[in-house]
Amino acid sequence: MISISFSSCLLTLFWSSIMILLFSFLLKCELAKHNIGLSFLLFFSFLTVIRLMTPFEFRYTIALISTKVLPFIQYLLFYPVFHGRLYVYQLLLTGWIAGLLRNILITGKRYYHFQKFLKASFLPLSEETAHYADILKKIHCPQYMIDSCRFVRSHIVTTPAVTGWLKPVILLPELDFTDQELEFIFMHEWTHFRHLDLFWKSFLGILHMTFWWNPFIVLLLHKAEEAIELKVDKAATRNLTYYQKIEYLECIIKIQKHQMSLTHPSPFTFAFS
């Protein structure tokens, strides 16, 4: 039998927070990243999310009796306010839902403007896009993906990025790149697309949008994105020579310098790191 109770929700928040702190610690530890691997750390973050989304008590769950902490928290949450018309937990729940609705509206508005920006900024078929397609061929991108790939080059884009659920769209800033730098960038972004990182990042975004009040979720979001970028960098540079890896890092520095030189931040946030 599966059930949900006040204590199960509270313990879910507690243990998921402990798992997030552990994930953050392991990600900072170079020895852990080397011995455990970034893939396992990301899988651990996935387990953390699953634990957070399942505040259930199962038939085999062992309940520990709390005589001080849990009763005190329960007393605070069920404390009557406004002359007994409401309880504290009802006010908190109302604030949670209001914040969630606000986040949904803001995210929907940003998504609408982003899609509008993409449709207005697609590069037409030209020698430039043909050149980009040739570079994608060099990194062994499948032909059907090359044919469906679209490109955007705009001053609004601060760093290279990839978007698109099924058909990739590669975004580039107004910055002069050599063919070697473009190859590094496309390799990085194609690795993101191939690993379905957009789905995982979107899911984390929904989680953050829902649990906006939980600082541990913000920590999980930042650390998971950091782990994803490190994993992609490792995969993208696996077959590069020592000097090519140096050029890859120099390309990242070039993009970061360009981003820091901008006086007006972009309305859209991207990342190539």
Angle in degrees, 0-180, between the axes of helices 179-194 and 242-261, rounded to the nearest 10: 90
The DSSP call for residue 86 is: E
Residue 266: pLDDT over 60: no
Share above pLDDT 70 across residues of the chain, in percent, rounded to a whole number: 91
Residue 264: pLDDT over 90: no
Identify residue 229 by its one-letter amino acid code. E
Residue bearing the bigger pLDDT, 175 or 68: 175
CA end-to-end span of the chain, whole Å? 46
Question: 138-182 pLDDT, tens per residue?
Answer: 998 899 889 999 999 998 898 999 998 888 999 999 999 999 999
pLDDT of residue 64: 65
Q: What is the mean pLDDT of residues 224-230?
A: 91
Q: Report how far residue 149's alpha carbon sits from residue 155's, in angstroms, rounded to the nearest whole number.
A: 20
Which run of H or of E encompasses 111?
helix 88-121
pTM, full prediction = 0.83
pLDDT of residue 272: 46
Q: Are strands 80-81 and 86-87 parallel, antiparallel or unpaired?
A: antiparallel
What token pair was written down for 191? 């690795």
pLDDT of residue 1: 59
Phi, psi (deg, nearest 5) at residue 141: -75, 135
Share above pLDDT 90 across residues of the chain, in percent, rounded to a whole number: 47
Q: Which of 7-16, 41-50, 154-163 has the highest mean pLDDT?
A: 154-163
Q: What DSSP assignment string belongs to 172-201?
A: EES----HHHHHHHHHHHHHHHHTTHHHHH
pLDDT of residue 75: 84
Question: 103-151 pLDDT, tens per residue?
Answer: 999 999 999 999 999 999 999 989 999 999 999 999 988 998 899 999 9
Position 267 confidence tier, pLDDT thresholds 50, 70, 90: low
Q: Report how far residue 33's alpha carbon sits from residue 41's, in angstroms, rounded to the nearest whole number.
A: 8
